[in-house]
Amino acid sequence: MATEKQIAANRANALKSTGPKTLAGKLKSSRNAYRHGLSCSLRLDPVTSAKADAIAQALVGEDANEEKLRLVAEFADAQLELQRIRSTRADLMAKVDLNHPDIHELQRLVALDRYERYAHTKRRRASRKF
């Protein structure tokens, strides 16, 4: 159990770490998710959307009702998202000079792990539903 002094210290610390305060800082942090282009939905791209629909239709087969098709489409979206992330990683790895690595390129590679974990989670949840 935390003491009153620890609770007060935690509260004081929490007030300090509430994100950026300046307009420039808020603008910069709001763009973080768009650095790789992986935060936007695949459904916005008509070609990728058609691919996802084709995969879902192939997985469902003849007994396709609306609910099952929607669930399988979630799975197909997550699978295509994983492919997009892996392709982005391969492109970044091709650019990295292992003898003189750039810290920013390495940080971008690390950031891809978060997107990949999220896509794996989406695919796993979708596969459990159907």
State pLDDT tens for residues 24-66: 888 877 776 666 566 666 666 778 888 888 888 888 877 778 8
Query: Could you tell me what percent of the chain has a pLDDT over 90?
Result: 15
Contact by Cβ (8 Å): 112, 92: yes
User: Cβ atoms within 10 A of the Cβ of 85, count?
Assistant: 21
Q: What are the C-alpha distances in Å from 15 to residues 9, 73, 127?
A: 10, 42, 41
pLDDT digit string, tens, across residues 75-89: 888 999 999 899 988
pLDDT of residue 82: 92
In the chain, what are the domain boundaries?
Answer: 37-129
What are 110's two structure tokens?
């690390």
- Nearest Cα to Cα of residue 70 among 120, 130, 121: 130
Backbone angles phi, psi at 87, to 5 degrees: -65, -40
What average pLDDT is seen over the chain?
A: 83
Q: What is the pTM of this model?
A: 0.64
